[in-house]
Amino acid sequence: MDKTVLFTSKIKELYPALSEEVLKNLNKPRYKTFRYVTLKKNENLLPVEEYKKGPFPNSFYVEDSYDLTDTPAFANTDLYIQGFSSMIPAIILGAKPGDKVMDMCAAPGSKSSQLANLTGDKVNITCIDNNSARLFALKSNLSAQNVQNFKIIRANAADIQYDPSFVNQFDKIIADVPCSNEGNIRFYDDKLLSKWNPKLAKKISKLQKRILASGIKALKKGGRLVYSTCTYSLEENEEVVDWALKHFEDVKLEPINLPITNTIAGLCKNGKKVFDSSITNCIRVIPNDLFDGFFVASLLKL
């Protein structure tokens, strides 16, 4: 079956009441979004008439035709290009100065550096990744944004649950896991859809469960873990969180409050699949001019 037809059918199945709106939004590019690097002096801000404020602290956007990469602000790392959806985990994590934080799949450093900027570089960030090239990019990005309070560990996030030195060590954890990237697909760009593998969701969900298990074990009592993906598939979203609730009695889902309207609650039922009723505390971000498709859950360790 043609991938466009297959993907369209998937959207209609997941969002029966919103499918027309979602598909309309997927036929156009989103605006270019960014944040300023507040750990630097910001000597190369964009002229105020050229950008607009986004819904989150230190979030901004420009028209799609505007080339952010061709500005002194970008060249001098006074701004960092990051999607609004990608900004959500660090915002709802609620990290406070002195917190010990782990970014489980940290490269290339968007969320770790955002956390440092949000807290004035006053949290202790442990960045995990297992790819040498990506670790190099991670270190480069953090250094360019003047982040000082971090350490990088080369490790497989799915396996740190077997290392006693990680158990019950962190106040806050971000688990923005590898996924099938369906949320980034826009129909106007054939390349994005051509890379989509409809079979990947079921396969990669096994890895996602192992990463989430590692994160829960590494979390201190009373700590918060934010699980997120940039994809639509139930297998990678609600199903993974439901699995965690069944396997770890010491975690519960927290409500998520964001200053945006393009969200719906996590799906407790889809076809024959039925999940824990508390899954409604998760959110699905509906793609539009500013946001890509996204899923996020906030888990508290009891």
Residues 28-37 pLDDT 10s: 999 999 999 9
Are 55 and 12 spatial neighbours (Cβ–Cβ below 8 Å)?
A: no
- Express each pLDDT in 216-270 by its tens digit: 999 999 999 999 999 999 999 999 999 999 999 999 999 999 999 999 999 999 8
Q: Is residue 138 part of a domain?
A: yes
Could you list the active site residues? 230
Domain contains 28: no
119 pLDDT exceeds 90? Answer: yes
Q: Is the pLDDT of residue 272 over 90?
A: no
Across the chain, mean pLDDT equals: 96
pLDDT digits (tens, 9 = 90+) for 55-105: 999 999 998 889 999 999 999 999 999 999 999 999 999 999 999 999 999
User: Across residues 43-64, what is the average pLDDT?
Assistant: 94
Please give the tally of structural domains in the chain.
Answer: 1
Binding residues for S-adenosyl-L-methionine: 105-111, 129, 176
Please give the pLDDT value at position 1: 65
143 within some domain: yes
Which residues are annotated binding-site positions? Answer: 105-111, 129, 176
In a domain, residue 290? The reply is yes
CA distance 87 to 207: 23
Indicate the pTM of the whole model. Answer: 0.97
Residue 269 lies in a domain: yes
CATH, residue 248: 3.40.50.150
Domain range for 150: 84-301
